[in-house]
Chains A and B, each alone.
Chain A
Amino acid sequence: MQEGITPASKPGLKPKALPQSGAKGFNLHVNDKWYALAFLGPSLLILGVFVFYPMLRTLYLSLFLTDNVGRPTVFIGLQNYVNLLTSSAYQASLQATAVYVIGVVAFTLILGLLLAQMAVRKLAGIQWFRTIFSATMGVSVSVAAIFWLFIFSPSVGLFDQIGNLLHLPLVQWLTTPGPAMIAVIISTVWMNLGFTFLILFGALQMVPQPLYEAAAIEGASPSYQFFHVTIPMISPTLFFTSTVTLIGAFKSFGLIDLMTAGGPNNATNLMVYQVYRDAFLNGNYGLASAESVILAVIIALFTLLQFKFLEKRVTY
Chain B
Amino acid sequence: MTTHSDSHKRLWILGGVLLALIAVFAGWSILSKPTAQAQGTKRTKVVFWNEMTGPAQAQLNTFVKEFNKSQTKYEVVPEFEGTYNEAVQKIINTHGTDASPAVFQSMDISTSQIYHTGYTTPVQKFIDEDHYDVSKIAPGARAFYANKGTQLSMPFNTSQPVLYYNATLLKKYKITPPPVNPSYSDITRVATQLTERSHKKVQGMTVEIYGWLFEQFMANSGVSLANQEDGHAGTPTAVNFTNAATVNTMKWIQDNLKKGVFVNYGAGANAQNNETASFLSGRLGMFMQSSASIGQLTTGNPDKLGITYYPHPDGQKSNGVAIGGASLWISNDKTSNVQRGAWEFIKYLMTAKSQAEWQVATGYLALNTDSQKEAVLQNLYKKLPATKVPGEQLRAATPNQTNSGIFLQGLIQERNLTQTAMEQIYNGSDINKSLATAEKSMNTYIQGNNRANGY
Q: A154-B274, A155-B274, A155-B281 are in contact. Are A265 and B424 (CB under 8 A)?
A: yes
Which chain B residues border A109 with CB–CB below 8 Å? none
Task: Report whether A265 and B452 are in contact in the complex, using a CB–CB cutoff of 8 Å.
Answer: no
Interface residues of B in 399-437 (CB under 8 A from A): 409-410, 412-413, 416, 419-420, 423-424, 427
Query: A56 CA to B143 CA in the complex, in Å?
Result: 44
Task: Report whether B92 and A283 are in contact in the complex, using a CB–CB cutoff of 8 Å.
Answer: yes
Task: Report whether A68 and B274 are in contact in the complex, using a CB–CB cutoff of 8 Å.
Answer: no
Any chain A CB within 8 A of the CB of B451? yes
Task: Report whether B268 and A153 are in contact in the complex, using a CB–CB cutoff of 8 Å.
Answer: no
Any chain A CB within 8 A of the CB of B14? no
The stretch from A94-102, A110-118, A168-176, A187-195 touching chain B is A168-176
Query: A73 CA to B453 CA in the complex, in Å?
Result: 7
Any chain A CB within 8 A of the CB of B379? no
Query: A286 CA to B116 CA in the complex, in Å?
Result: 19
Task: Report whether B412 and A282 are in contact in the complex, using a CB–CB cutoff of 8 Å.
Answer: yes
Query: A215 CA to B88 CA in the complex, in Å?
Result: 65
Interface residues of A in 259-274 (CB under 8 A from B): 259-261, 263-266
Query: A172 CA to B95 CA in the complex, in Å?
Result: 44
Task: Report whether B86 and A280 are in contact in the complex, using a CB–CB cutoff of 8 Å.
Answer: yes
Task: Report whether A280 and B85 are in contact in the complex, using a CB–CB cutoff of 8 Å.
Answer: yes
Task: Report whether A67 and B452 are in contact in the complex, using a CB–CB cutoff of 8 Å.
Answer: yes
The stretch from B188-196, B259-267, B311-319, B383-391 touching chain A is B259-267
Q: A73-B453, A175-B271 are in contact. Are A264 and B423 (CB under 8 A)?
A: yes
**Chain B nearest CB, measured from A141 CB (Å):** 15
Task: Report whether A155 and B452 are in contact in the complex, using a CB–CB cutoff of 8 Å.
Answer: no
Query: A237 CA to B454 CA in the complex, in Å?
Result: 55
From B271, B409, B413, B451, give the contact of A68 (CB < 8 A): B409
Most buried by A among B86, B89, B119: B89
Task: Report whether A264 and B266 are in contact in the complex, using a CB–CB cutoff of 8 Å.
Answer: yes
Query: A66 CA to B454 CA in the complex, in Å?
Result: 11
Most buried by B among A73, A176, A263, A265: A265
Q: A155-B283, A174-B266, A263-B268 are in contact. Are A74 and B452 (CB under 8 A)?
A: yes
Query: A284 CA to B413 CA in the complex, in Å?
Result: 10
Interface residues of A in 224-267 (CB under 8 A from B): 259-261, 263-266
Task: Report whether A283 and B268 are in contact in the complex, using a CB–CB cutoff of 8 Å.
Answer: no
Which chain B residues border A156 with CB–CB below 8 Å? 277, 281
Any chain B CB within 8 A of the CB of A104? no
A91-133 vs B: 1/0 string, CB under 8 Å?
Answer: 0000000000000000000000000000000000000000000
Query: A68 CA to B449 CA in the complex, in Å?
Result: 8
Which chain A residues border B445 with CB–CB below 8 Å? 282, 284
Query: A265 CA to B434 CA in the complex, in Å?
Result: 11
Query: A70 CA to B449 CA in the complex, in Å?
Result: 11
Any chain A CB within 8 A of the CB of B117? yes
Task: Report whether A265 and B453 are in contact in the complex, using a CB–CB cutoff of 8 Å.
Answer: no
A176-188 vs B: 1/0 string, CB under 8 Å?
Answer: 1100000000000
Q: A154-B274, A266-B420, A282-B410 are in contact. Are A65 and B268 (CB under 8 A)?
A: no
Task: Report whether A175 and B265 are in contact in the complex, using a CB–CB cutoff of 8 Å.
Answer: yes
Which chain B residues border A73 with CB–CB below 8 Å? 452-454
Task: Report whether A261 and B268 are in contact in the complex, using a CB–CB cutoff of 8 Å.
Answer: yes
Task: Report whether A89 and B412 are in contact in the complex, using a CB–CB cutoff of 8 Å.
Answer: no
Which chain B residues border A266 with CB–CB below 8 Å? 420
Task: Report whether B266 and A65 are in contact in the complex, using a CB–CB cutoff of 8 Å.
Answer: no
Task: Report whether B267 and A263 are in contact in the complex, using a CB–CB cutoff of 8 Å.
Answer: yes
Query: A117 CA to B64 CA in the complex, in Å?
Result: 60
Task: Report whether A66 and B266 are in contact in the complex, using a CB–CB cutoff of 8 Å.
Answer: no
The 5 closest A-B pairs by CB, nearest first: A175-B266, A65-B452, A265-B423, A261-B268, A155-B278
Q: 23 pairs across A/B with beta carbons < 8 Å? A: A65-B452, A66-B452, A68-B113, A69-B92, A70-B92, A153-B274, A153-B277, A155-B274, A155-B277, A156-B277, A156-B281, A174-B266, A175-B267, A263-B209, A264-B209, A264-B266, A265-B423, A265-B424, A265-B427, A281-B85, A281-B412, A282-B416, A283-B89
List B residues at the A interface (Cβ < 8 Å): 85-86, 88-89, 92-93, 95, 113, 116-117, 119, 209, 264-271, 274, 277-278, 281, 283, 409-410, 412-413, 416, 419-420, 423-424, 427, 441, 444-445, 448-449, 451-454
List A residues at the B interface (Cβ < 8 Å): 65-70, 73-74, 83, 89, 149, 153-156, 172, 174-177, 259-261, 263-266, 277, 280-284, 286
